[in-house]
Amino acid sequence: MKYLILTLLTVGLISAQAEVTKDHFGTTRDGESVERYNLKNKHGLVAKVITLGGIINELHVPDRAGKTADIALGFDTLAEYEEHNGGVYFGCITGRVANRIAGGKFELDGKSYTLDLHPKTNFHLHGGLKGFSKVIWKAEIVTDSRGPALRLTYLSKDGDQGFPGNLNTRVTYVLTEEDALVIEYEATTDKATPINLTNHTYFNLAGAGSGTVLDHRLTLQSQRYLETDADLLPTGRLLPVAGTPYDFTKSEVIGGRIDKISIGGYDHAFVLADKPQTKPSLAAEVYEPKSGRVMQILTDQPGIQLYTATYTTPVKGKGGQSYDRLHGICLETQHHPDSVHHAEFPTTILRSGETYRTSTIHQFSTR
């Protein structure tokens, strides 16, 4: 009997520490309410997600001394997200199709589709002018044995941003008791459509607003990267990373060879596998020496986009901190960019009767 009482008290203590709470984040220019959900695990890790764009607004992770810091770049107010969301994509779900589509056009099953173009470019970017990063998602707190969890759903109707089919999308965030942030994506459609979802969080493991990420150390489980043209659109060639500034097969300082990149930073797609995997495996590791924070990324996706805030212009972020070029690192797990124009790439086409499923894990620790 004593053992049973102790067990029940222990379970109650853990459940009291791990929780999901909700608060009102703001009201959009169009009068829509945006809520924020705060996930906290029993070790004190906190992930805050807003219903606009499914944005990870804050992500608090401890350093080697146990002191937590917010490692996700973002804004304090909804108005700031509305003002800047079309440029920086802080923390958001990107889709229907993340990354670039050349010319903003594609053909599918004998039909031609026209999408909007990113301003002053000749490509479609991250799902369009009102893609998944700019819509209000429905949110539901769900029970998950791994830890506090939030499920977001959105119906993208046939013709949305030029894409065919009614696409029902579900994204689940789980903050596990093993100190991982899991993002699970699921979608179905009533008509064939491209889909390529990812999350666009800018990480700085020293803490958001701490300056550049040039001293972070990066390892990528990739032997090849995608050759691109002047618009960073794939040519179709997969090039070996060996002997180039794109070789992160062993831990390298991000800033060590960045001056050899013509655009002054990384915005490149790397090959993880020839096709999607059956379960997530290690894709990348980021280590910040001063804090000791480590982030490992596991995914079942065939590729990952490395972006070092190369095109970010100065902006005031959370707490009045200044964000600038190279102040964050994005590691966007996904299919290859512009796959609709490259039959040799793993397909991004989802058809009626099929279910799109993919999972990415951000595992946190210290060293």
| Active site residues per annotation | 200, 332
Q: From the DSSP assignment, how many helices (H) and strands (E) are in the chain? A: 2, 29
Q: How many CB atoms lie under 10 A from the CB of residue 11?
A: 10
**Phi, psi values for residue 80, rounded to 5°:** -70, -40
Amino acid letter, 197: L
Separation CA 243–CA 342 (nearest Å): 26
Distance CA 112, CA 124 (A): 15
Gap between the Cα atoms of 351 and 225, Å rounded: 28
Residue 15 has phi, psi (to 5 degrees) of -70, -30
One-letter amino acid at 132 equals F
Q: How far apart are CA 52 and CA 132, in angstroms?
A: 9
Residue with tokens 């995914």: 299
The residues near 229 (Cβ < 8 Å, ≥ 6 apart) are 235
Cα distances from 183 to residues 168, 296, 337, in angstroms, run 17, 14, 20
* β-bridge partners, 136: 52
Backbone angles phi, psi at 6, to 5 degrees: -60, -40
